[in-house]
Amino acid sequence: MSLKSANEIWDYLKNEYERDERIRWMQVLNLVRDFEMQKIKETETVKEYDERLLSIANRVRLLGSSLKDSSNVEKILVTLPEKFEATVTTLENTKDLSKIPLA
């Protein structure tokens, strides 16, 4: 522990762990798992839910990996509550979901 300040310790740990591919891969894996576990909350709008999913996807990108842009749309369509079933069916039947705003 030759480092004197909290800032020096932080910089050391950041450099030590930020570059380690194994740790980065584990962080990506955890974020992807977190993405897959997400469900829309009863009090949440579709836009808020999409923003939450997009935030996770952006953190994955910052670590040098990526989630497909279509993953957000697919995730939203699969996890929407039953009250949106008619809307989801309509969207699925259009076959061009990339041009349809969900919010």
What residues does each domain of the chain span? 6-99
What pLDDT is stored for residue 12 in this prediction?
A: 83
Output DSSP code: residue 31.
H
What pLDDT is stored for residue 103 in this prediction?
A: 47
Is the pLDDT score of 94 beyond 50?
A: yes
Q: Is the pTM of this model over 0.85?
A: no
How many Cβ atoms sit within 10 Å of the Cβ of residue 38? 14
What pLDDT is stored for residue 70 in this prediction?
A: 78
